[in-house]
């Protein structure tokens, strides 16, 4: 089953609620399994680059089918590899916390990216969005 706008909006509501709870303005992006943007949100007060960073984190999670934090570890152990592929694709890859794959069962249907807090806060807010939407 594909990820659609209605589900993406539910994810954004949950992610934004968590960001408000921790008092951290953020941006979020939801992409489909191919890395194409479905929905995004920039909270009032979020940094100007956060929408692009959130999109890149989501794209990274979708392309690698794992969290962007896991890709960060890959970048540390294989810097030449990561450095050579960082700009491949339609959106630059970002290796750092805040990008989570979205699965329905075993099927990857998309990813969420969050930006504006610490890597841990970004991941926590992204996870809250998935939980609210019943995708955790």
* Beta strands 99-104; 107-115: pairing state: antiparallel
Query: Is the pLDDT at 108 greater than 80, yes or no?
Result: yes
Average pLDDT over residues 52-73: 95
pLDDT band at 90 (very low <50, low <70, confident <90, very high): confident
pLDDT band at 87 (very low <50, low <70, confident <90, very high): confident
Pair 15, 28: CB distance under 8 Å = yes
What are the tens digits of pLDDT across the range 1-41? 689 999 999 999 999 999 999 999 999 999 999 999 999 99
Domains in the chain (CATH in brackets) are 5-110 (3.30.450.150)
Q: Indicate left, alpha or beta for 86 from its phi (over 0: left) and psi (-120 to 50: alpha).
A: alpha
pLDDT in the model for residue 82: 81
pLDDT band at 88 (very low <50, low <70, confident <90, very high): confident
Q: Tell me the C-alpha distance between 60 and 45, whole Å.
A: 25
Query: Is the pLDDT at 81 greater than 90, yes or no?
Result: no
């Amino acid at each position: 089953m594909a990820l659609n706008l209605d589900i993406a909006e539910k994810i954004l509501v949950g992610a934004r609620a968590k960001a408000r709870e921790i008092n951290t303005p953020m941006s979020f992006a939801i992409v489909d399994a191919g890395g194409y943007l479905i929905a995004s949100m920039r909270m009032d007060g979020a940094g100007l680059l956060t929408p692009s960073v959130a999109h890149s984190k989501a794209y990274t999670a979708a392309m690698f089918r794992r969290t962007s934090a896991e890709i960060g570890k890959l970048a540390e152990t294989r810097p030449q590899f990561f450095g050579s592929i960082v700009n491949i694709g339609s959106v630059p890859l970002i290796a750092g916390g805040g990008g989570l794959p979205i699965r329905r069962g075993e099927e990857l249907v998309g990813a969420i990216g969050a930006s504006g807090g610490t890597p841990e806060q970004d991941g926590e807010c992204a996870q809250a969005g998935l939980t609210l939407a019943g995708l955790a």
